[in-house]
Amino acid sequence: MTIQINTDNNVEGHARLKAYISEELEKALTRFEEKVTRLEVHLGDENSDKSGINDKRCLIEARPINMQPMAVTHHADTMEKAFHGALDKIKKVLDTTFEKQKTY
């Protein structure tokens, strides 16, 4: 499973942040390793330098084998909360998708 992390111009994409996100994704989604070829994470600050409520955005796109890509988005007041919210959502989407496949 390949992990790609993208940030907009308002988010510092330093190596420590990318390593943290990669580790968290690998830990949380390890059971889907054989079913998902690629994960893309897009981090952004929608208000740029201005502060605001829920202006941090995290989009996670999963690309399962032989299926259409799936994407979730979560907004929060910090980048970490936005990431973890999106991570919870993508886990639920992947769980639901692969559970449905088992029943057919």
Tens of pLDDT, residue by residue over 55-86, are: 899 999 999 999 999 999 999 998 899 999 99
CATH code of the domain containing 48: 3.30.160.100
Q: pTM here?
A: 0.89
Share of the chain above pLDDT 90, in %: 67
| 44-63 confidence digits (pLDDT tens) | 988 766 666 778 999 999 99
With contact defined as beta carbons under 8 Å apart, do 45 and 10 qualify? yes
Give the domain range for residue 40.
2-103
Q: How many domains would you assign to the chain? A: 1
Phi, psi of 86 (to 5 degrees): -65, -35
